[in-house]
Amino acid sequence: MLYKKSHKSSEAAPAPADKSLRFPPSYGFVGLGIMVLGEIALFSGVGLVARWFTPIMWTGYILFTDSLIRRRKGTSLLSRYPLEFFLLAVISIGSWVIFEAYNVLLKNWRYVGLPENMLVRYFGYAWSFATISPGMFLTYELLESYLPGTNPARSPRLGDGLFYGFVVCGLGAVIVPLIWPSTYMTPLVWLGLTLLIDPINQRLGERSFVSEFFAGRFRAPLTMFLAGLICGLLWEFWNYWADTKWQYDVPYLGDVKLFEMPVLGFLGFMPFGVESYAIYVFVRRLIPIPRQVRYLG
């Protein structure tokens, strides 16, 4: 289920899809306009847009994608649950800060063209980081709406052997790069938090893509992999043309690139969606604000 009403909320159930809708709601046109005008401004040499190009494009993409979901389903996270969307964006910032902290040690990427004013720079960080999880999750939800079949109402329970095995492996994967920091350890970071947190979420009664995958229910995990890969391609495409951007130092075929990203690095975007969802679910339980909806849960 993409939306599940929280037992703590009096929010009405999502409205059925309005089959008469043939175009996205108005904010979808705003999002599409942001992306089109952003591209025009970039290639017209507008420096301000070139500096802020990545978060501008992702803001437009999120508005447009959410509107398409609303068109197909009659409801969407942003249009119906704006508070939950805001909390998702805040958690997205915090979750990416974890990866930035690892990058201080692993030196996997670096930023160029950053604003000199630190307040402006950190505003740019926050804006950019806030779009990461919403972009992936909305892409997943839109893809999922086109696929046949349904997801399980409840993720299957992992056996104790798999559960403790994943948690131990995940804990090791997040600790080893801290002890022996090296760019060669980067894959551990992109897998470790998934193996550590996602099984714990399942034991807490939340959705677990890992448990669904190992129970042979591949539909949702593979869709999230695809969503992560699509978003990865968009990140790297928009990043390539921006003045303020990131560049990579990757030891695995680092000179074989698509845009700024070494080609093997795109494999990391697939589990990244699952990892981001695991972090979001775990952290959302800790926020003392009743959930209006269990998004993607």
| pLDDT higher at 236 or 13 | 236
205 CB neighbour count, 10 Å cutoff: 12
CA separation for the pair 107, 130 (Å, rounded) = 22
CA separation for the pair 163, 211 (Å, rounded) = 9
Nearest to 97 by CA among 245, 276, 268: 276
pLDDT band at 10 (very low <50, low <70, confident <90, very high): very low
Nearest to 147 by CA among 221, 208, 59: 221
CA separation for the pair 32, 34 (Å, rounded) = 5
Q: How far lies 288's CA from each of 8, 153, 284, 285, in Å?
A: 12, 25, 9, 8
pLDDT band at 5 (very low <50, low <70, confident <90, very high): low
Domain that holds residue 268: 82-295
| 25 occurs within a structural domain | no
Per-residue pLDDT reduced to its tens digit, 109-164: 889 899 889 999 999 999 999 999 999 999 999 999 888 767 666 788 888 888 99
CB-based contact 293:2 (threshold 8 Å): no
CA separation for the pair 164, 240 (Å, rounded) = 41
pLDDT at 21 over 50: no
pLDDT of the residue at 126: 96
CA separation for the pair 182, 146 (Å, rounded) = 41
Nearest to 175 by CA among 163, 185, 160, 161: 185
pLDDT band at 214 (very low <50, low <70, confident <90, very high): confident
DSSP label at residue 13: P
Percent of the chain beyond pLDDT 70? 88
- Of 33-42, 93-102, 258-267, minimum mean pLDDT range: 258-267
| 18 occurs within a structural domain | no
Q: Which residues pair with 109 in a beta bridge?
A: 248
Per-residue pLDDT reduced to its tens digit, 234-279: 999 999 889 988 888 777 766 766 777 777 778 888 899 999 999 9
| 36 occurs within a structural domain | no
| 162 occurs within a structural domain | yes
pLDDT at 20 over 80: no
| 37 occurs within a structural domain | no
Q: How many domains does the chain have?
A: 1
| 275 occurs within a structural domain | yes
| 122 occurs within a structural domain | yes
CB-based contact 14:80 (threshold 8 Å): yes
pLDDT (mean) for 208-221: 89
| 129 occurs within a structural domain | yes
| pLDDT higher at 250 or 195 | 195
